[in-house]
Amino acid sequence: MKTDNEQILKGLLDTLVLNVLTQGENYGFGIREALHQQLGADADVVKEATLYPLLHRLERRELLISYRQPGERGTPRKYYKITDLGRSYLRTKTAEWRKVASLLERTIFTNKD
């Protein structure tokens, strides 16, 4: 059974990954590195065992598409590209996260206990 924290992170990671892909097409390790750079000390929320199933799930939902391209060493890499549906989903989720952040800021975070 997933904890509440895991469910929240799952929804947030979807948004973060799609946001990375708005910067351009990327492959799994590149996406992970971009997230680590953005998240800094909180980068441990993005585990390899979490990222690849998440990418596959987003692809099944048609929020991104993938294609293979030769890598630097000749081994093909699977690249991911955000779709128009993914961009729409990202706009919706970003608005939802802004609302959540605003609600927390006005209530819990301003409570000076």
Q: Which domains does the chain have, with CATH numbers?
A: 4-106 (1.10.10.10)
Instruction: Quick: pLDDT tens for 59-111.
Output: 999 999 999 998 778 789 999 999 999 999 999 999 999 999 999 989 988 87
Distance CA 70, CA 53 (A): 22
Strand partners, 27: 79
Predicted model pTM: 0.85
Whether pLDDT at 113 is above 70: no
